[in-house]
Amino acid sequence: MDETAMWRVLDDERAGLADLLASLTPQQWAHPSLCAGWTVREVAAHLSLGSRIGLGTFLIEIVRARGGFDRLVDGTARREAARPRDELVAALRAASGSRHLAPGQRLADAMMDVLVHGQDIALPLGIDRPMPLEAARASAEHIWRRGFPFHPDRRLRGFRLTATDVSWSAGEGTEIQAPIATLLLVLTGRYAMLPDLTGPGAAALAVRAAGRTGR
């Protein structure tokens, strides 16, 4: 995808998620998301922050997180989540059209982030939120090649992932099949999606994941 197309997806996803969040009840905001340890509220807070955080704030937060990327992401989301729901929705809506990226973030990272977190919100609430196929394919390729922070090439070593709805595959080994949106969620560590996988490698991956999570 070219940058114009990626920005268009990012704008559309942010605006659509702002509409979705504005329609949710307080109980739905407090519902656990697919993102481990976060409710819908923390996911919304994280999404609302990316287009606003500057270098100065980022440096303060990385010191506060003692240099840990995961701690930085978690801490900023939880602090931002203390804001009223209406403010979080307004911030996310205002992000649609912004061309600011968080320090160190690539446009492909931002697009992948909003696609995945949109499903983190929608799926646990039983809401159907189709993912744009080409954007999902591009995001899957990006995260597979980049690795950080999910390192799917390590976690999924020994498996060949093949999309059933677009032309995309990655890895070597026993085949696993699923729609590209499902594969993107698995690539980013959403093990809740394992029951939606098919192919001879699906059961083996479920066993591996259970051993890692203790469940």
Q: Where are the domains of the chain?
A: 3-125, 146-213
Question: What pLDDT was estimated at residue 5?
Answer: 98
Q: What is the DSSP letter of 130?
A: P
The upper half-sphere exposure of residue 176, i.e. CA atoms within 13 Å in the direction of its Cβ, equals 27
Token pair in block for residue 57:
């704030």
Question: What pLDDT was estimated at residue 50?
Answer: 76
Task: State what percent of residues in the chain have pLDDT above 70.
Answer: 93
pTM: 0.91
CATH number for 3-125: choose from 1.10.3720.10, 2.40.37.20, 3.20.20.70, 1.20.120.450: 1.20.120.450
Q: What is the mean pLDDT of residues 169-192?
A: 97
Q: What is the mean pLDDT of residues 14-32?
A: 98
